[in-house]
């Protein structure tokens, strides 16, 4: 029996929070607030950041909450210092996050690369705004999708999550921290400005039902410890500074102990390890919501707030008898290649609405090479306004 | 087997790793490394509690050689990383090893703000007046009129006084010495480690292979002699007429004051927040 859409969504979205348990009371909250609450519930105990619209509420809430819980909040001198401070704190054992927006995210790119090459868990929350440069600080855009994947120089893996509601911001924040700890990397949570600032009624799960993952600490004596130990899934224990292990961490290409190397074989090993850590664990990393796709001849592929508009458009179009469905990635990087390829195989037309000049469309084009250009429709908007359900509905009617 | 006496430094170096080191013959970095190790040995600090953080440059290669908790970071950012470590593990002794370019050019912002916060980091800034690792470019401490590969006609920019910068930003311990004055340096680093607050120790050093060659300063020995002859202790400065002090390197602890330390302040803040939360 095919699963209903509802069941599917539950399966994809609720992996971090056990379903059907008593929930905490329903509260009205902002996306940014949900992110801060998610961070606290995930065990985050260190935040370093720099004020920037539209992410500032995350810092403000954590400035209030972290000291109460014995955690550390520090406002740094800039975003560069912020990413560096959370990386240092994480190596000392903290669960560490920062929050920023476009200009700050650009400044953090080198530090993100450092966290990735040194396999240091941390989370960067990027509440996207219009760009380039200062752009429109309080207007939404989805222009950082490719930057979140490719922003730092050199090849590096990326785990990027993208919620479409306030509640999901909470859930994916927890998941971001969990994945950072598990995969020892810098995970990015991409939020849309409107989701960050929108208020919705949210029923948070009981804290006892929140699944929290923390890094595995080494059990071997210090002299046997390898900072980058090889194992089947490329997930290795992580010691903390100040606990007797006295390991070395460098942004230089390094061997499995963490010491710099110029040897071709060791350099290749390190790069392969970074790549395979992601590629061998795709099933664990990828989450995608499929909505009314079973009989769809038209599919919409969208993330974040654009997916939310698309969902309304799907309902309206379905009411008129148009067979249209929505595919929405919760994990945008690694890109859900297999799922997308499979789910788009039988549709005639794919519409990709996004608040940029065409970013997700490149991935869809790559995965649907058999479709003609006329059957792959990009909807773009970069004027600081949203793509509305009506815009998408009109496009659906044009193509059906 | 004969009882071979071990040098103190051997106890603190990583024997199995990555020697020979990257530094050129005649470089002062090894002397500073020795000074740091002897200071730590004198203070009998537990090496598990010592964190050495560095950025990018010749001096910043130091952490790889020492058997402490070590972190070799991005260009200019060592103090920001160190701030993260120190705030989360305030019991650790955090030493930052940095150079003139790393700390006062690309990393200037972090230096000022760590000094302003008065966070308990011990910054050992090895000032060789040049970017050595990249082959001799002009740094913020390259003297006026000196030659660098990016100042082939002479440096038209005035140079920074690193200690004045740190003091201006609020550092509570600031000292200057040279690689020639090894014992003085060792003691100054000890004082810096003992100081509860932000300390900056500027060690004037010799880069004979690049700065020395470009500026015809002679070999390592000549450059060491120049440190001896061109520097005067702070105590002597007051007795000398200003013209005799002009152009000299003034050595000594230029500032040592008690100020609230950032991690201590944070602890107080935490207690305040928890009391408020309890009410």
Residue A28: other Cβ atoms inside 10 A = 10
Q: Encoding tokens for residue B42?
A: 């004198």
Cβ–Cβ gap B88/A72 under 8 Å: yes
Cβ–Cβ gap B70/A81 under 8 Å: no
**Considering only A182-196, A344-358, B151-165, B236-250, which range has the smallest mean pLDDT?**
B236-250
Kindly list the residues from chain A whose CB atom is less than 8 angstroms away from the CB atom of residue B47. 246
Cβ–Cβ gap A88/B92 under 8 Å: no
Cα A269 versus chain centre, distance: 26
Q: Are A354 and A306 in contact (CB under 8 A)?
A: yes
Q: Are B79 and B123 in contact (CB under 8 A)?
A: yes
Q: Which residues contact B56 (CB under 8 A, 6 or more apart)?
A: B73, B74, B75, B76, B102, B133
Q: Encoding tokens for residue B134?
A: 């990249």
Residue A303: other Cβ atoms inside 10 A = 30
Cβ–Cβ gap B80/A244 under 8 Å: no
Pick the residue of B88, B94, B270, B278 with the most A CBs within 10 A to test the interface with A by mutation: B88
Compute φ and ψ for B170, nearest 5 degrees.
110, 10
Q: At A122, is the secondary structure helix, strand, or coil?
A: strand
Q: Does B91 contact A at CB distance below 8 Å?
A: yes
- Among A94, A111, A244, select the one facing B48 at the smallest CB separation: A244
CA distance A77 to A306: 34
Average pLDDT, stretch A154-160?
A: 95
> Quick check: A33 pLDDT over 50?
yes
pLDDT number for residue A37 = 97
pLDDT in tens, chain B (279 residues): 467 667 887 889 997 766 789 999 999 999 999 999 999 999 999 999 999 999 999 999 999 999 999 999 999 999 999 999 999 999 999 999 999 999 999 999 999 999 999 999 999 999 999 999 999 999 999 999 999 999 999 999 999 999 999 999 999 999 999 999 999 999 999 999 999 999 999 999 999 999 999 999 999 999 999 999 999 999 999 899 989 999 999 999 999 999 999 999 999 999 999 998 766
> Quick check: A11 pLDDT over 90?
no
Question: Could you tell me which of B48, B265, B23 has the C-alpha nearest to residue A241?
Answer: B48
Compute φ and ψ for B135, nearest 5 degrees.
105, 20
Per-residue confidence at A171, pLDDT binned at 50, 70, 90? very high
CA distance A60 to A84: 20
Compute φ and ψ for B184, nearest 5 degrees.
-60, -45
Q: Which residues contact A399 (CB under 8 A, 6 or more apart)?
A: A298, A349, A351, A377
- Check whether the bond before A132 is cis (ω within 30° of 0): yes
Kindly list the residues from chain B whose CB atom is less than 8 angstroms away from the CB atom of residue A85. 80-81, 83-84, 87
Cβ–Cβ gap A91/B83 under 8 Å: no
Q: What is the pLDDT of residues B50-92, one digit of tens each?
A: 999 999 999 999 999 999 999 999 999 999 999 999 999 999 9
Window 37-76 of B: residues touching A by CB (8 A cutoff) are 47-49, 51, 53, 63-64, 67-74
Q: Does B83 contact A at CB distance below 8 Å?
A: yes
Task: Name the CA radius of gyration of chain A, rounded.
Answer: 21
pLDDT number for residue A135 = 95
Q: Which residue of B has its CA nearest to A262?
A: B18
Domain ranges of chain B: 21-278
Q: Are A200 and A167 in contact (CB under 8 A)?
A: yes
pLDDT number for residue A7 = 41
* Enclosing H/E stretch for B99: strand B93-99
Q: Does B12 contact A at CB distance below 8 Å?
A: no
Cβ–Cβ gap B48/A93 under 8 Å: no
Cα A239 versus chain centre, distance: 25
C-alpha distances (whole Å) from B188 to each of B66, B97, B175, B184 are 20, 14, 7, 6
Q: Domains in chain A, please, with CATH?
A: 5-209 (3.40.50.970), 289-399 (3.40.50.920)
Q: Does B194 contact A at CB distance below 8 Å?
A: no
Q: Does A86 contact B at CB distance below 8 Å?
A: yes
Q: At A302, is the secondary structure helix, strand, or coil?
A: coil
Cβ–Cβ gap B109/A78 under 8 Å: yes
Q: What torsion, rounded to 10 degrees, do the Cα atoms B50, B53, B58, B62 define?
A: 20
- Find residue A210's DSSP bridge partners: A17
Cβ–Cβ gap B87/A46 under 8 Å: yes
Kindly list the residues from chain B whose CB atom is less than 8 angstroms away from the CB atom of residue A94. 84, 88
Q: Does A70 contact B at CB distance below 8 Å?
A: yes
At the fourth CATH level, the homologous superfamily of domain B21-278 is Thiamin diphosphate (ThDP)-binding fold, Pyr/PP domains (3.40.50.970)
pLDDT number for residue A233 = 75
Q: Does A74 contact B at CB distance below 8 Å?
A: yes
- Among A68, A94, A252, select the one facing B277 at the smallest CB separation: A68
Kindly list the residues from chain B whose CB atom is less than 8 angstroms away from the CB atom of residue A114. 73-74
Mean pLDDT of chain A: 93
Cβ–Cβ gap A76/B47 under 8 Å: no
Q: Does A239 contact B at CB distance below 8 Å?
A: no
């Amino acid at each position: 029996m095919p699963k209903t859409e509802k069941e599917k969504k539950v399966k994809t979205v609720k992996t971090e929070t056990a379903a059907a348990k008593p929930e905490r009371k329903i509260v009205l909250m902002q996306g940014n607030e949900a992110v801060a609450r998610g961070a606290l519930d995930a065990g985050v105990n260190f935040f370093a950041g720099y004020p920037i619209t539209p992410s500032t509420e995350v810092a403000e809430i954590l400035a209030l909450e972290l000291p109460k819980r014995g955690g550390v909040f520090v406002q740094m001198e800039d975003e560069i210092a912020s990413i560096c401070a959370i990386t240092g704190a994480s190596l000392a054992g903290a669960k560490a996050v920062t929050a920023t927006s476009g200009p700050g995210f650009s400044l953090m790119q080198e530090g993100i690369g450092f966290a990735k090459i040194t396999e240091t868990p941390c989370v960067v929350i990027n509440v996207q705004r219009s760009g380039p440069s200062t752009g429109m600080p309080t207007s939404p855009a989805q222009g950082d999708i490719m930057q979140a994947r490719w922003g730092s120089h050199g090849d590096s893996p990326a785990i990027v999550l993208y919620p479409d509601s306030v509640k999901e911001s909470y859930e994916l924040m927890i998941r971001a921290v969990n994945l950072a700890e598990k995969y020892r990397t810098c995970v990015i949570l991409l939020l849309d400005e409107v989701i960050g600032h929108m208020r919705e009624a949210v029923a948070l799960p009981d804290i006892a039902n929140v699944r929290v993952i923390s890094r595995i600490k080494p059990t071997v004596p210090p002299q046997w410890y390898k900072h980058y130990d090889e194992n089947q899934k490329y997930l290795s224990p992580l010691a903390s500074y100040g606990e007797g292990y006295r390991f070395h961490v460098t942004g230089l290409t390094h061997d499995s102990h963490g010491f710099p190397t110029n040897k071709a074989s060791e350099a290749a090993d390190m790069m392969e390890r970074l790549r395979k850590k992601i590629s061998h664990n795709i099933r664990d990393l990828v989450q995608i919501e499929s909505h009314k796709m079973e009989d769809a001849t038209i599919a919409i592929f969208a993330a974040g707030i654009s997916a939310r508009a698309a969902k309304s458009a799907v309902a309206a179009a379905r009411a008129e008898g148009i067979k249209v469905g929505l595919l929405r990635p919760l994990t945008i990087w690694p890109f859900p290649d297999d799922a997308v390829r499979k789910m788009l195989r039988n549709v005639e037309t794919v519409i990709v609405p996004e608040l940029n000049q065409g970013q997700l469309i490149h991935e869809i084009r790559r995965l649907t090479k058999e479709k003609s250009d006329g059957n792959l429709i990009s909807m773009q908007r970069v004027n600081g306004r949203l793509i509305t359900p009506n815009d998408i509905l009109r496009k659906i009617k044009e193509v059906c | 087997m004969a009882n071979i006496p071990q040098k103190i430094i051997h106890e603190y170096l990583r024997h199995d790793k990555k020697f020979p080191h990257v530094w050129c013959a005649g470089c002062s970095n090894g002397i500073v490394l020795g000074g740091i190790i002897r200071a730590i040995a004198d203070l009998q600090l537990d090496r598990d509690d010592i964190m050495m953080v560095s950025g990018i440059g010749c001096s910043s290669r130091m952490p790889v050689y020492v058997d402490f908790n070590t972190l070799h970071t991005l260009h200019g950012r060592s103090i920001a990383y160190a701030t993260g470590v120190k705030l989360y593990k305030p019991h650790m002794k955090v030493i930052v090893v940095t150079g003139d370019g790393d700390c006062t050019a690309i990393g200037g912002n972090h230096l000022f703000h760590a000094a302003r916060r008065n966070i308990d980091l011990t910054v050992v800034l090895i000032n060789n007046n040049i970017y050595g690792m990249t082959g001799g470019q002009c740094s913020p401490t390259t003297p006026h009129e000196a030659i660098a590969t990016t100042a082939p006609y002479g440096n038209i920019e005035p140079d920074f006084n690193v200690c004045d910068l740190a003091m201006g930003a609020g550092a509570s311990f600031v000292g200057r010495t040279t690689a020639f004055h090894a014992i003085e340096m060792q003691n100054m680093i000890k004082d810096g480690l003992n100081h509860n607050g932000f300390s900056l120790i500027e060690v004037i050093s010799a880069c004979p292979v690049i700065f020395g060659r470009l500026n015809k300063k002679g070999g390592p020995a000549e450059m060491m002699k120049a440190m001896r002859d061109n520097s005067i202790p702070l105590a002597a400065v007051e007795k000398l007429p200003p013209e005799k002090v002009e152009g000299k390197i003034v050595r000594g602890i230029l500032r040592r004051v008690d100020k609230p330390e950032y991690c201590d302040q944070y602890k107080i803040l935490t207690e305040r927040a928890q009391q408020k939360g309890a009410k």
